[in-house]
Structure formats: C-alpha cells, structure tokens
Chain A
Amino acid sequence: MTAGAALRFAGAAVRYSGSDQPAIEDVSFEVAPGELIVLLGPSGCGKSTLLRTVNRLVALTSGSIEVDGRDIATMDPVDLRRGIGYAIQAVGLFTHMSVAQNIAVVPSLLGWSRERIEQRVDELLALVHLDPQRYRDRRPRQLSGGEAQRVGVARAIAARPRVLLMDEPFGAVDALVRASLQRELARIVTELGTTTLFVTHDFDEALRLADRIVVMRSGRVEQAATPDELLEAPATPYVRELVHAGDAVYRTYYAHVRAQLRGSP
C-alpha cells in the first residue's frame, strides 16, 4: 500500500518567452494525500501546462510547488519524475518494445530485479483487466485504442508512484470504453491511495472522477471546489456557464450522476 503525497501550489506561474500572456499565473491550491483532483478547462487554459510543472517537464517562472513539503525545484528532475506517474492522451507507448517492457520502464530505471518486475507487470495487467498471458508479449501496434490506454495507465502506476499525473488519458477512445476506463481508474487510485491530478476538458468526466475540481481559464484558477459545491455555488460567470447553472435539465442530470456515484463507492 502506497500512501499518496500532499501537494502544494503557491503562486505558480509560467511565462513563455515571446508570449505576453502567461501560460499559467498565480495558481495556489493544496491537495491532500490520496485526493483525485481534476483540472478542468477549455483548451489553451493552461491545465496541461500546470500538470507538466509538477514533474518539471515545464519549469515554473515564479512561485513554487511542494511535494510532501519539499520544493520540487530543489530536487533532481530525473529522480522526481521516477517517483511520479505520467500518462498522456497520445499514450506514447514505445513501439519498439513489448507491452511488458513498456510497463516495466520505470521499475527498470529504478533497478528492480527481473523477478520483481515480471511479477509486477502481470499484477498490473490484471489490475487494468488485460490477461497477462495474452497481452504481456504483444506489441503496441497489436492493441486497440482502449487497450493501449490501459497499458498507458499500467505503465504510469508501475513503480507505485505517490503522485499520478494524467493528461486526458482517455481522450482518444469512444464513450463506452471511456466510461469503463473511468470506473477502473477511480477504483485503482482509491485502492492505491495515489494522489492524482487528472486533466480534462470534459465536465462530465470531471464530475465522475473528481474529489475536487480545479476549474481553469486563461491560465488562472476560476474555482477549486468539490463537484457538489461547484454545482451548487459556482463562483464565477464562467463556472456558472460550465455547469449550466441556469439549465434545469442539466442540473437534474448532474444531480442524478452525483447521487449515483455516491450510491456506488
């Protein structure tokens, strides 16, 4: 059992040279260990940039991010990344490696023994509902979109990271597969207690997954709140629009989704 880490964003900002608009600005919020936070907003709002600052794929221009009280700027980026799971929409499975080798990437970098890695790979394949016997030696090209996304998730959590970063990891699959992947992800991270940041532009997905939703727009946080709070008390006109606050049909639908999720933990 791996407990998740606590995260703290304090005035985080990223400015790209040659752009007068900051990509993200004055982002401050805290994440409790084991929380699943959804970063929600339209494309270009800075949610992916914010996600990528956590494993230092993007450098902060000012402000700080702490993992369990340690400023990530003081850590070696390669070590930091090996302790943080990372899954992306394009999946990026290494096409010259087998499924097992893909999943084993971080454990191998960390120097795990062969037996331990083999055991872990089978365990993870079972966890994402892929039969180890059938899938272990496959190549990425022999996987469907949904299967590839599952392998991507397995690869991200392989070395039991304390923080998991997911950038629209289910963006490229159809609605049915996506719903089942969402349920599985919620189950997995709850079981593991991994602190998770999950980027999406899909409010419905945010509603289904999040302990708390951080709504972003133009690089700033509009509101950080639980899904229920967001539905009941949208803080800004943008959030009101996002949750369709004035629309009775949506309100009924969202209330129904939330009630269902509470009913089946």
Chain B
Amino acid sequence: MNYLLDHPARVASLAAEHVELVAAALALAFAIALPIGLYAARRPHVAGWLLGVLGALYTIPSLALLAVLVRLLGLGMAPIFVALVAYAQFMLARNVVTGINGVDAAQVDAARGAGMSGNQILTRIELPQALPVIVGGIRIAAIASIAIATLGGYVGSGGLGVLIFNGLTLHQPSMIVAGSVSASILAVITDGALRLVERRARLGTS
C-alpha cells in the first residue's frame, strides 16, 4: 500500500484517466447498442443471431483481442477503446432486447388502443418500463469495462493499468497493489452507484 499512500496525486490522476476512458467507451457503446437492441427486440430471429454474434465476440479473451487491435490500430488509446466498445455491446444490447421484450403486453396493447404512435409507445411506455433492465446492463458493462481497461496500461492508453504493468516491469509489488486495489475500489463504487439508479428506476415502474 506504500505507493498508494506516497503518491496519492499520481494514483488519482491515473484513476481519473481510467474513468474517462471507461465512460467515453460506454457512452459510445450505448449509443450503438440502443438502436441495435431496439431493432432486434421487434425481430426475434434477428435478436437470435445478433446476440449469438455479440456473445461470440464477448468470449474472445480480452488480451488476445487487444493484441489483434494493436496490430490494426497501433499503440495508444484506440485499441483499448475499440475493445471496450466491442465487449460492452453484448451486455448492453442483450439487456435492451430483454428489457423491451419483457414489457407487459397488456400495457402495450392499451397504449396502441389509446392511439399512441409507434414512437410514442416506445418513448412513453416501453423505454420507461424497460429502464431498470437497461440500467442493469449498463452496470454490468461498466464493471467489466473497468477491469478490461486496466489492460490499457500495457498498450499505452494510460489509466490504472499503468501502475500494474509498470509495477510488473519494475518489480514493484506496491505499485501493482496500488493499481489493482484502486481499480477494484472504482468498480465497487460504480456498482453501488448504478445499483441505486437501477433500484430507483425499478421503483418508478412498479
């Protein structure tokens, strides 16, 4: 723990980088997964193969994927960013599909019968009803992304992974501990915060 206590500013700035990387990747990933998920939710056969493909992508070991991406995109922020966006797709899109398909059919029927247009049903009924499940997907994706983003330390994208990989290279166990403990704390805080959001969303729909 010495490193963490001796260099709090350094750890904090790497943690901030880590959060920025994960948040930006999640935002882009969600912007892609939401329309894909909405499209697939209405088409069961599309949902089947889409989640199959994304699931297969998800099973590729992250280090292997990163190695391929480094060859394609070079070192720096790009490969880890792409890897994060790709991994998050599965969890985000799956929960959008599950959330939308889980909306009470009677409510959708009543909304159509009331004369809501397709877009109105989506924005006023389906998305609010599916929100807890969608937030659940964001929470899981965020935790996984915080872990995967530590690999960025190996390819030069900054973040808490820098401490872990430098510690390995320099034989400095306290640096490794500082990096991994900080990443874990980040994951626990994120999990707790998004659980709160999820619970509020759930209360709002029941």
Contact = CB atoms under 8 A, between A and B. Distances in A.
Interface stretch (B14-22, B23-31, B103-111, B163-171): B103-111
B114 A88 contact: no
Contacts, number: 66
A239 interface: no
Looking at chain A's contact residues, the main secondary structure is mixed
B98 to A, nearest CB: 18
A81 interface: yes
Interface string A70-85: 0000000011111110
Interface in A132-165: 139, 141, 152, 155, 165
Interface of A: 55, 57, 78-84, 86, 88, 90-96, 105-106, 109, 139, 141, 152, 155, 165
Contacts of B110: 86, 88, 91-94, 152, 155
B129 A88 contact: no
A152 B106 CA distance: 12
A83 B114 CA distance: 9
Contact of A92 (B107, B116, B128, B206): B107
A86 B110 CA distance: 7
Contacts of B105: 90
Contacts of A95: 104, 107, 129, 205-206
Which 10 A-B residue pairings sit nearest by Cβ, starting from the closest?
A: A86-B113, A92-B110, A82-B115, A92-B106, A90-B106, A81-B115, A96-B205, A92-B107, A96-B128, A105-B114
B199 interface: no
9 contacts: A78-B116, A88-B106, A88-B113, A94-B111, A95-B107, A95-B206, A109-B114, A109-B115, A109-B120
A109 B116 contact: yes
Contacts of A105: 111, 114, 116
Contacts of A155: 110, 114
A93 B104 CA distance: 10
B112 interface: yes
A89 to B, nearest CB: 8
Contact of A81 (B106, B113, B204): B113
A150 B128 CA distance: 24
B142 to A, nearest CB: 24
B117 interface: yes
B122 interface: no
Given A93-B107, A95-B129, A55 B204 contact: no
B50 interface: no
A96 B109 contact: no
A105 B109 CA distance: 14
B125 interface: yes
Contacts of A139: 206
B112 A81 contact: yes
B129 A96 contact: yes
Given A57-B109, A78-B116, A109-B114, 7 more contacts: A57-B113, A91-B110, A92-B107, A92-B108, A92-B111, A93-B110, A95-B104
Contacts of B204: 96
A90 B103 CA distance: 14
Most chain B beta carbons < 10 A, residue from A82, A86, A96, A155: A96
A152 B110 CA distance: 9
Interface in B74-120: 104-117, 120
Nearest to B118: A78
